[in-house]
Amino acid sequence: MRNYIGAELYRNFNRVYLWLYTGVFAVLALAAVIILRAYNVPEMNLTSLTEMGTSMLIMPVFLVVAMIDMVTAEEQKNQTMRNIVTFGISRNKIILSKLIVTVILSLISAFIILALFLGSTSVLFGLGAGFPGVFLTHFSRIIVAVPLWIAAISAGNFLAIFISNSNIFAAVYGAVFLMSTRVLQALGVVVSDKFEYARKYLITSQLNKLRGTNLTRDDMLFMVVISIGYILIFTILSMCYFNKKEIK
């Protein structure tokens, strides 16, 4: 399994797509900071910009779809998964390896983008009066969001295994995370309030909760527990389905 993970990382590290995708968002992040500096936005600094960043914690859920497509969905589309299975690697190890590789690539990409964003902000605007206390408070929310993003990757990997067409996979993935909140909210009104209760446990609902002002440590711990639950459920579902699936 370790050799397969290494091979997958090597394969993807040598692809232009990974670095082009990361580079585009890194440049956009840098450009946003430069534009803010050019317009001399008042009271802007590393601390305040990090605080603003907590309102966009939902975005990586949709950005990681490219990583899932590159690592898992693309092999489904190109029908190269069979080569891996016939090589003798167990199907459960393939699922775990795909998840680990996708998470590693996503974290590396996120680190590069975030490092450039925060680094350029601190250079052009300074650290701010609330540094390091207020900065660490908001940055901790970004850390708590990481397992929720990994949970989204787990769900995405299941969809990528279940749906052979990568375009349909991407569309379904986006629809699930865009519409699930509204669907459950509507069902809570029309059918039963239990659906409204279930809505609170969605990944997107928990990420939106990180934007709140009255967030406690218990809330953060609960988010981590929910993340672990999603990761386990969708990893097991992926294994069960992949073990029964006919690989062409």
Count of helices and strands (H, E) across the chain: 13, 0
Q: Give the helix/strand (H/E) hosting 88.
A: none
So what's the pLDDT on residue 31?
A: 93
Alpha helices per DSSP H over 39-132:
46-53, 59-63, 65-68, 74-78, 81-86, 91-125
> Tell me: the pLDDT tens digits for 34-75?
888 888 777 778 888 777 777 788 889 999 999 999 988 887
pLDDT at 64: 93
Q: Write the burial class of residue 24 (CB in 10 Å: 0-12 exposed, 13-18 middle, 19+ buried).
A: exposed
To the nearest whole number, what is the mean pLDDT of the chain?
87
How far is residue 150's CA from residue 231's CA, in Å, rounded to a whole number? 7
Per-domain residue ranges of the chain: 2-244
Digit-coded pLDDT (tens) for 207-219: 988 887 778 888 8
**Tokens of residue 136, six digits:** 């660490």
The rounded Cα 16 to chain-centroid distance in angstroms is 21
pLDDT in tens, 143-192: 999 999 999 999 999 999 998 888 899 999 999 998 888 888 888 777 77
Query: What does the DSSP 8-state code read for residue 39?
Result: T
What's the confidence (pLDDT) of residue 228?
A: 95
Judged on CB neighbours under 10 Å (0-12, 13-18, 19+), 184 is buried
Average pLDDT over residues 17-21: 93
> What pLDDT sits at residue 248?
63
